[in-house]
Amino acid sequence: MVGVLAVALALAAGAHSPKEAVQRFIENRSPADACAQLAPAYKAAIQKQYGPCIQGMKIQPKATHIRVYDQKIKGAKATVQARYDANGASFHELYTCALSHRVWLITGSKQIP
């Protein structure tokens, strides 16, 4: 029963493309939605380093000038690039995503110089 509920919630909250998952995470319109875009293992790694995801997203500076582009999908894996400004700095990142239960989740990210 709990497993079925978890899948139903993921489908309702999940992104239908890798680009959408990254956009929703960076936009952070609600901390719960932003955190819902992360794969469980990646979310756990972030929480280990920075603390609870939802609490972190609540204090995260708002991103502006968001551009999500160069989506490349190969089967159930994808990469997406993003550029945005936050807290007076510019960021360029490469996100990796995976398809899970018909929704795309972010599995990692790294800064691009």
C-alpha to C-alpha distance for 72 and 28, rounded to whole angstroms: 23
In which band, very low, low, confident or very high, does the pLDDT at 13 lie, cut at 50, 70 and 90? low
pTM of this prediction? 0.86
Residue-number span of the structural domain to which 107 is assigned:
2-111
- Whether the pLDDT of residue 3 is over 90: the answer is no
Other beta carbons within 10 angstroms of residue 69's beta carbon come to 10
Number of domains in the chain: 1
- Whether the pLDDT of residue 105 is over 50: the answer is yes
**Nearest of 110, 94, 111 to residue 18 by alpha carbon:** 94
C-alpha to C-alpha distance for 53 and 42, rounded to whole angstroms: 11
Model pLDDT for residues 40-93, shown as the tens digit of each residue: 999 999 999 999 999 999 999 999 999 999 999 999 999 999 999 999 999 999
Here the CATH number for the domain that contains residue 49 is 3.10.450.50
C-alpha to C-alpha distance for 108 and 96, rounded to whole angstroms: 5
Mean pLDDT score, 5-27 = 78
